Amino acid sequence: MPLARRTFLTAVAGSAVVSCGAGGAPGRRDDAVPDPAGTSVASADAARRLLGDRADQLRFRTLSGPRDSFRVDGRPGAIRIAGTSPAVQLAGLRQYLMRVTHANISWAGEQLNLPATLPAPPHPLIGRANVPHRFVLNDTNDGYTGAYHDWAYWERELDVLALHGFNEVLVHVGADALYHRVLSRFGYGDEELRSWIPLPAHQPWWLLQNMAGPAGGPVPSGLLAARARLGRRIADRVRELGMEPVLPGYHGTVPPGFAARNSGAHVVKQGDWYGYRRPDWLDPRGSHFAEVAAVFYRAQEEMFGPARMFRMDLLHEGGDPGDVPVGDAARGVEKALRTAHPDALWVILGWRRNPPKALVDAVDRSRMLVVDGLSDRFPTVTDREADWDGTPYAFGSIGNFGGHTALGANTPDWAGLYPRWRTKPGSALRGTALLPEAADNNPAAFELFSELAWQEGALDLTSWFTDWSVARYGAHDRHAVAAWDVLRRTAYGTTRADSWAEGADGLFGARPSLTARSAATWSPKRLRYDGSEFEKALGHLLSVRGELRNSSAYRTDLLDVARQCLSNRSRALLPRIKGAYDAGDAAGLDRLTRDWLALMDLLDRLLRTDPRHLLGSWVAQARAWGAGDAERERLAYDQLSLVTVWGTRAGAEAGLHDYANREWAGLVGGLYRRRWETYFRELRAALDAGRAPHVPDWFALEEAWIRHPGTLPVRASGDTYTVAAEVRDRLHRGPGAG
């Protein structure tokens, strides 16, 4: 069955499309310049990495004409893809794969059941971006997605981002080595700096000026050098694909004692952030700031190559300006940036009250881009032109916090708000910004959001999810269509009316309590959709016909839906456990707590069937960067602590514990099960003794587990379909059923 007609592409040359030339970014041309041969080697190489020998049937050419547009045509076995950059050509390839061959490549699962001879499009596929900026990745990404990924990971990730039409990629890997190199010029020794820079999993918050200092000892010198090499390789590939690397800018972060080493410098102490000492802030108005910034930008270009976009905030999440006027500080930061890079674009996060009007009113707003993290969250966010005095901004979404594994998104808001905000009179909307705190999950949300910048007219969500199911599994299947319609109406049908943009996490990952309502302190306290309706999707997915079940795309979706069904049941079962305890029903308490732990065991067994859900593999990546046993243990602790206690006891008790909870094998069957088993044992003892239950020292238990987690699986085992069918059968018996 053919896909429904797409709204973001025109099928006939000359049809009306929205040009991305208006409001273009400074320093770019609206007309493409073809390479000498008229071909694109970078896109051909990427296609070969993604498609194997099928890519030999593709011919890529550089398109002369309006910027950020593509055209796909040709004949069977000889498909022509023309575009204004390699990344735009790959965006054209994705539309060809989805619409013509019914194939899918995402950052979580793929389906590439391609015919031996690639079919020609029945008519030319023509697409043009409706905004110049398509920004991707959050400042927290390197921590929550995986600070210890290697080049093999990044090579594929960048190919997938280009395939989805993004053209601006945040690159933070190697910033630790950059700061080490720069600040060594200003009176600091090697080990002193390595003791100030956090280990990689926690570096995002150091770059945001929230914290400093590794809990596990100095950052190894070899690790700094290796990350610098990897960062350069990432930035070079981003440029090779025709995208722009967005590098960190310098906004004043310095270690303790800067003024003592640099006479006359004015430094403002920044206090604490959730129990962590913030780095000091060098006053941007002074000559010392200008000197450090000059060294920073010069060293950065030497280490990572040229860049035009620089990501930085001032005084992130409660920073203290002290006696420095914010507007004057912004002018100092901007002056240093422009001195080093006259054509630079300052990229700043739209988050809470950031950026304040005092900041945007002090700088050249036309050369700033706000990547808005709250476009689809609060119903009170209605006029970004007024909020930021006309500063260009990108419509953005933070679809998960901490890397939670919950499915869902406020897709009705995406489909409704984005075109309305972009086309209203006086609109300052110039881009999209996909900002999940961790990448590589929630693939339907990733796909849908990436299409906003390429759509023409309104986006019909019913048609989109139908089309998605066809491409995702390779052909039309009524059960697949029904499953995704259920998901569209439930987890992907939520809106910002309740002031949330992410789904509720499960209670299996919460610190145990009979009144627990979320695992992470700042997550939704209830499901944002009907959980019983959501469960219908599992039955439909299990009924998809057999020949469409062989892809990693199908297995990914089946696991995610089954996982979320089990996770949601925790919210139905916990009140029954509380009821039994409050009634003094020891037999009922025993039965229900056994069922709770059995559901956790089933969930862990389901998660073990997929390599993407193995905590052991994630930790093994960290260990692989270590030079010896002691170093490997420190890096493993860095990785494990982030998704559990987050860091220190003070930080955990300030609310950061389980901020990055996720349903992964090893966590569910390891730490999470140990906590709940301990708690249930104490509840029963208290009931027998007629006393109030003692509250365990959760941090001590968690810290002990992080140090000695036991054997964590590093290879998938079992069959996803078989275990998902067990999940369906178990859920049919109802919460608390034996």
pLDDT in tens, 94-137: 999 999 999 999 999 999 999 999 999 999 999 999 999 999 99
One-letter identity of residue 238: V
Mean of pLDDT values over 77-101: 97
Whether the CA torsion 9, 15, 18, 20 is positive or negative: it is: positive
- Structural contact between residues 389 and 360, judged by C-beta atoms closer than 8 angstroms: yes
How do residues 687-721 score in pLDDT, each as one tens digit?
999 999 999 999 999 999 999 999 999 999 999 99
- Supply 320's token pair: 């203290």
Residue 665 is classified by DSSP as: B
How do residues 644-672 score in pLDDT, each as one tens digit?
999 999 999 999 999 999 999 999 999 99
- Residues 534 and 515: their CA atoms lie apart, in Å, by 24
Contacts of 4 (CB under 8 A, 6+ apart): 460, 463, 466, 467
How do residues 346-361 score in pLDDT, each as one tens digit?
999 999 889 999 999 9
- What is the reported pLDDT for 217? 76
Q: What CATH number does residue 720 fall under?
A: 1.20.120.670
Pairing of strands 276-277, 272-273: antiparallel
Pick 37 or 504 by higher pLDDT. Answer: 504
Starting at the edge strand found earlier in the chain, the sheet holding 253-254 runs: 253-254, 280-282, 267-268
86-90, 457-461, 485-489, 613-617: which has the minimum mean pLDDT? 457-461
Say if 535 falls within a structural domain: no
Mean of pLDDT values over 565-592: 98
Mean of pLDDT values over 240-268: 98
Mean of pLDDT values over 260-281: 96
Mean of pLDDT values over 146-156: 97
Whether the pLDDT of residue 509 is over 80: the answer is: yes
Pairing of strands 69-75, 58-62: unpaired
What residues does 248 pair with on adjacent strands?
A: 311
Say if 712 falls within a structural domain: yes
Contacts of 628 (CB under 8 A, 6+ apart): none
- What is the reported pLDDT for 735? 57
- What is the reported pLDDT for 38? 57
Give the total number of structural domains in the chain: 1
Whether the pLDDT of residue 3 is over 80: the answer is: no
First to last CA, the chain: 43
- What is the reported pLDDT for 364? 98
Pick 2 or 316 by higher pLDDT. Answer: 316
Residues of the chain with pLDDT > 90: what percent? 91
Say if 505 falls within a structural domain: yes
54-68, 298-312, 338-352, 457-471: which has the minimum mean pLDDT? 54-68
One-letter identity of residue 553: A
Pairing of strands 125-128, 104-105: unpaired
- What is the reported pLDDT for 736? 46
- Residues 484 and 554: their CA atoms lie apart, in Å, by 12
| CA angle, residues 505, 507, 509, in degrees to nearest 5 | 85
- What is the reported pLDDT for 214? 72
Whether the pLDDT of residue 446 is over 80: the answer is: yes
Phi, psi (deg, nearest 5) at residue 280: -70, 165
Mean of pLDDT values over 286-305: 98
Say if 614 falls within a structural domain: yes
Whether the pLDDT of residue 225 is over 50: the answer is: yes
In what helix (H) or strand (E) does residue 590 lie, and over which residues does it extend? helix 586-607
Pairing of strands 69-75, 78-83: antiparallel
- Structural contact between residues 312 and 250, judged by C-beta atoms closer than 8 angstroms: yes
10-24, 418-432, 627-641: which has the minimum mean pLDDT? 10-24
357-371, 668-682, 721-735: which has the minimum mean pLDDT? 721-735
Say if 629 falls within a structural domain: yes
Whether the pLDDT of residue 6 is over 80: the answer is: no
Whether the pLDDT of residue 161 is over 80: the answer is: yes
Mean of pLDDT values over 10-20: 30
Whether the pLDDT of residue 33 is over 50: the answer is: no
214-223, 255-264, 320-329, 454-463: which has the minimum mean pLDDT? 214-223
Average pLDDT value for the chain: 93
Whether the pLDDT of residue 286 is over 70: the answer is: yes
**pLDDT-derived band at 498, boundaries 50, 70, 90:** very high
- Residues 425 and 408: their CA atoms lie apart, in Å, by 31
CA 567 from centroid of its chain's CA atoms:
21
**pLDDT-derived band at 8, boundaries 50, 70, 90:** very low
- Residues 396 and 408: their CA atoms lie apart, in Å, by 16
Say if 618 falls within a structural domain: yes
Owning domain of residue 611: 496-528+551-732
Say if 664 falls within a structural domain: yes
In what helix (H) or strand (E) does residue 430 lie, and over which residues does it extend? strand 429-434
Whether the pLDDT of residue 22 is over 80: the answer is: no
- Supply 733's token pair: 């018996």
- Residues 519 and 228: their CA atoms lie apart, in Å, by 35
SS (H, E, C) 21-68: CCCCCCCCCCECCCCCCCECHHHHHHHHHHHHHHHHHEEEEECCCECC
Residues, the chain: 738
Pick 25 or 40 by higher pLDDT. Answer: 40
Mean of pLDDT values over 388-417: 97
Alpha helices in 643-697 (DSSP H): 649-651, 673-689
Token look-up 């019983």 returns: 532
Say if 656 falls within a structural domain: yes
Residue 354 is classified by DSSP as: B
> Strand, coil or helix: what is 281?
strand
